[in-house]
Structure 1
Amino acid sequence: MRDRPSADIWRRTRHRRRGLVIAVLLIMVIGSVLAVDAIRRHIEGEADLVGDRTFYRVPHPLPPGAPGSIVRVEGIDSAPLGSSAWRVIYRTRDLAGSDVAASAVVIVPDAPAPVDGRPVIAWGHPTTGAATQCAPSLDVDPFQLIEGLHEFLLEGYAVVAADYPGLGVPAASSYLLGIPEANSVLDAVRAAHAIDAARIGTDVILWGHSQGGQAVLFAAERADEYAPELTVRGVAVAAPAADLTELMSDDIVNVSGVTIASYAIPAYEDAYSERYDAGELAAILTPGGASATPQMAEMCLLSQNEEIHAIADPLIGRYVTGDPATTEPWKTLLHENSAGSSPIRVPVFVGQGLADELVKPSATDDYVALLCAQDTRVSFHRYSGVNHGLAAYASLPDMLVWLAAVSAGDPPASTCR
């Protein structure tokens, strides 16, 4: 009788060890599969890029067509395991309402689609740059910046990731211009509908990080008017560039602000050329800033960060003649391109890192206060110790819970008081 407890303990310990061994083996197998998949995607991605140079060249002028209509589409061999993917070039509208071509990536799970089509996550990516070559879809791995991609595919969602006009397909930059960014996000979903094998439905969740937060918030504000055939169920953002006046005022004193401004100023000069003389907008720059801006505007944030710092660091405090957020005509233009001019009538998820030094927590607090004042249903989450780059990943667990509830038609109670 005295030996029985020891035997039971030994058996339980043996079972736990066996379970631990199985778990470790599963992790090793999954890790090996993911590693092999990463190698495969890199090799196939390199092969994909060989043909991309011609794929992204479109006729000029662009043949007429409706917004969201496809100009060109091709499959992507390096799609993640268990999915199919395509690059697509489609028509969208710029700030003036003119037709322009834009590029996007569409990814769907290999599982059978629902009868009414797959629901869509329309992804708005954070800043990669403002030059044509900085498009996420041009990367060897065009999927790596889509935060939450694997989780969304496992849940049966299609994912549509727009580059924004000026990225991928040569065109004028749309950097931090809310309307053309939003148009391109919505039109990318329209274009995905025309890919028969993708089996896309009309239900859409908008999801964006940083610059992509601005893009999808504008898309949420404009969807009913611009793309009424789409049913936007909700919009989720992480560290969104929602209020450009606060963003620019907070950041113009550091290297991030100099970089952001170097991307935005040429884009705004082109977009508002009929409204303002070039000199009116360029007057905000010091002589050193005016000299450096064209070079910085051609650099991609993720691949040329050191080169950007080498130019921007000496200009900190000497890039602009005053705060653009309080200097006309920039004050007006930044306000026009800030989210919140129209109420959002679908549930909104907001995630914000409290260690974010780019989109300051106070700026997001102010935007959430505006949403609450407009009677928007908001789920607001703050994350201690999380910086700007990790805001979307930190938000994902809560965002996925919110997503399931919104998709089921039972969104969480608002955190607005």
Structure 2
Amino acid sequence: MATKQIFLLLLLPLSSLQQLQSQTNTWNSNFHLTPAQISLANLSATTANNVEFAVRYERTNNAGQLTRHDPFYDLPTSFDPANPPPPGTVLKVEQYTNITHYTIPMSLSMSRFLYTTETLNGTSMPASAYVLWPYLPRSFPDLTPYSTDRDSEDPLFPIVALAHGTSGQTQSCAPSNLRELWGNFQNSFPLALSGYAVVAPDYLGLGVADTVSPYFVLPSHAHDLFHAIAAAQQTWPGLLSKEFAVMGQSQGGGVAWASAQRQAQRPVEGYLGTVAVSPFTDVLDIIAADDQAQNNGRVVAIAQGLASVLPSFEVSEWITEAGLARLHLLQEIQGCGLTGAQLFSAEEGTVQILKDGWNLTESAKWYDSTNSNGGSKPFAGPMLVLQGTDDPNANEPVVTQSVRKTCEAFPEARLEYLRFENITHVPALYAGQHIWLDWIHDRFAGIEVRNGCVEKLHKPSRGGRSAEFEGFGVQTWFIQLWS
């Protein structure tokens, strides 16, 4: 008998783990922490309970199994880590991914591949990525194939390279192995359903074993994006276009902006422009504007991978012994973003995770100067930036200041900045969806963008309340596979 797949949008508030507990009897994980793990990480009973629920939820959202148990993520035996091929090299291809365990809209298909990217220091490293294919590609008169050696009857798919928001920092957090690809109806699904081939890297350290995630080192993630595009084009040269647009939200919004800056320094033929939604610009300023629990998790995540791009750095420069113990536990249990949020909330301030003055260290100054977007750093336009005014994550005043400083430094730059009143972090994608989809379409259609910066504030057309206001910006559903 055939298995039926049904998309369920469960009306389930995700703002509290306690509200998730009633669903655990349907989850495919029975994870429990050991007494030794609880003791070594000094977890309260409440935090231990929340971590267990978080891990179960995350593992249920894996497409079938953890990445470390999925042979797709194993490197080919011919790969020599001491002498890796140059960045952009294709290592392994899964032409038709079995989507039985994915919650992907009907009519779409998926491929996964391993390729080489580069670190901030230029070292070639293996990474993973996926392509989400539409049933029919959107056609554009001037679209050109990556390779002219192709059958004229073959379809030609325009590329949108998608930089994902924070999924986590361990191997298990690869969006290519998450049921709804982490972007779901926020970005990846609408793009593919609109006829674009979505090329989406798992950032270095997510997916392939024995690699370290340089979490929130945005220029490094930009390398992942460009090399994933090149690898995909080499894999499907007759199907994919030479032209491509870049898009990202949250951490991915910062990566998208960093990609536009990379394009200004290292131009790649075919680049059409960038969409950055709720982007991180001056990361340390944004961290300073966030609450302590969120700061804890983000700074620990940055610290765990910073030595991979700044060899003189030691994690203990920023993180206390208590924080290091919890970081070790996160890595041991292969937790992702939700698990990290519970571990580093640190019982509402009763456990200190970050060392006093961590942000004043020389390593923090190096990170800030290397990693910030905007200001005096040139970028390749055009670029569309969307931002909610009530964003508690990518702080709106910081983003606005970065945009305006960029426009002061480059008054002829093609930058359009749209703010959405009373909209928060992720909902900016929904509030402006038709705008960014039209903008991407216009870039492939060859419609020129005038020089200069444009800034506009959008207000809700009907006024009153919406799901954004009722839900305080918290997603109240998730996609579950029902078979």
Name the CA distance, whole Å, in 2 between partners of 1:37 and 1:322: 44
Per-residue CA deviation, residues 257-310 of structure 1 (Å, 9 max, x unaligned), is: 11101100111133211xx252xx633334433443433566644442663355
Does 2:428 match 1:407? Answer: no
Equivalences for 1:32-111 in 2 at 5 Å?
Answer: 35=7, 46=63, 53-58=70-75, 59-61=79-81, 64-74=84-94, 75-78=96-99, 80-111=105-136
Per-residue CA deviation, residues 13-56 of structure 1 (Å, 9 max, x unaligned), is: xxxxxxxxxxxxxxxxxxx9973999xxxx9x855879962111
Name the CA distance, whole Å, in 1 between partners of 2:8 and 2:97: 17
Name the CA distance, whole Å, in 1 between partners of 2:174 and 2:132: 17
Distance 1:287 1:77, change over 3 A: closer
Q: Quote the offset at 1:85 in angstroms.
A: 1.4
Q: Which amino acid aligns with 1:328?
A: E
Distance 1:66 1:288, change over 3 A: closer
1:255 maps to what in 2?
Answer: 293
Distance 1:352 1:312, change over 3 A: farther
Distance 1:162 1:205, change over 3 A: same
Name the CA distance, whole Å, in 2 between partners of 1:337 and 1:241: 10
Distance 1:351 1:265, change over 3 A: same
Q: Quote the offset at 1:144 in angstroms.
A: 4.3
Name the CA distance, whole Å, in 2 between partners of 1:175 and 1:207: 18
Distance 1:62 1:349, change over 3 A: farther
CA contact (8 A) 1:71 1:89 kept: yes
Q: Quote the offset at 1:404 in angstroms.
A: 2.6
1:202 maps to what in 2?
Answer: 242
CA contact (8 A) 1:125 1:146 kept: no
Name the CA distance, whole Å, in 2 between partners of 1:304 and 1:150: 25
Q: Quote the offset at 1:380 in angstroms.
A: 1.3
CA contact (8 A) 1:186 1:227 kept: no
Q: Quote the offset at 1:70 in angstroms.
A: 0.8
Higher relative contact order, chain-length normalized (CA < 8 Å, sep 6+) = 2
Name the CA distance, whole Å, in 2 between partners of 1:113 and 1:390: 26
The structure 2 residue matched to 1:337, chosen from 360, 367, 371, is 371
Does 2:167 match 1:133? Answer: no
CA contact (8 A) 1:62 1:100 kept: no
CA contact (8 A) 2:296 2:344 kept: no
1:390 maps to what in 2?
Answer: 427
SS in 1 for 2:130: strand
Equivalences for 1:272-311 in 2 at 5 Å?
Answer: 272-273=310-311, 276-278=312-314, 282-296=316-330, 300-304=335-339, 307-308=342-343, 311=346
The structure 1 residue matched to 2:204, chosen from 129, 142, 165, is 165
CA contact (8 A) 2:273 2:443 kept: yes
Unpaired runs of 5+ residues, structure 2, are: 11-59, 146-155, 457-483
Q: Quote the offset at 1:177 in angstroms.
A: 1.1
Name the CA distance, whole Å, in 2 between partners of 1:254 and 1:126: 20
Name the CA distance, whole Å, in 1 between partners of 2:282 and 2:195: 33
Q: After alignment, is 158-167 or 336-345 more displaced?
A: 336-345
Decide which structure has the larger Cα Rg and report it.
1
Name the CA distance, whole Å, in 2 between partners of 1:166 and 1:129: 10
1:20 maps to what in 2?
Answer: none
CA contact (8 A) 2:138 2:158 kept: no
The structure 2 residue matched to 1:367, chosen from 402, 412, 416, is 402
Distance 1:46 1:152, change over 3 A: closer
Distance 1:317 1:154, change over 3 A: same
* Count, aligned residues: 376
SS in 2 for 1:35: strand
Q: After alignment, is 352-361 or 53-62 more displaced?
A: 53-62
SS in 2 for 1:265: helix
Counting aligned pairs with the same residue, the percent is 24
Name the CA distance, whole Å, in 2 between partners of 1:128 and 1:187: 20
Unpaired runs of 5+ residues, structure 1, are: 1-31
The alignment's TM-score, normalised by the length of structure 2, stands at 0.69
Higher helix residue share: 1
Name the CA distance, whole Å, in 1 between partners of 2:67 and 2:396: 42
1:21 maps to what in 2?
Answer: none
Distance 1:73 1:143, change over 3 A: farther
Distance 1:416 1:142, change over 3 A: closer
Distance 1:128 1:48, change over 3 A: closer
Name the CA distance, whole Å, in 1 between partners of 2:68 and 2:168: 22
Q: Quote the offset at 1:234 in angstroms.
A: 0.9
SS in 1 for 2:362: coil
Distance 1:77 1:246, change over 3 A: same
CA contact (8 A) 1:62 1:99 kept: no
SS in 1 for 2:454: coil
Q: After alignment, is 168-177 or 196-205 more displaced?
A: 196-205
The structure 2 residue matched to 1:245, chosen from 284, 290, 299, is 284
RMSD: 3.3
Distance 1:46 1:361, change over 3 A: closer
Distance 1:258 1:66, change over 3 A: same
Distance 1:52 1:292, change over 3 A: closer
Name the CA distance, whole Å, in 2 between partners of 1:167 and 1:33: 27
Name the CA distance, whole Å, in 1 between partners of 2:294 and 2:67: 33
SS in 2 for 1:61: coil
CA contact (8 A) 1:106 1:159 kept: yes
Q: Which amino acid aligns with 2:7?
A: A
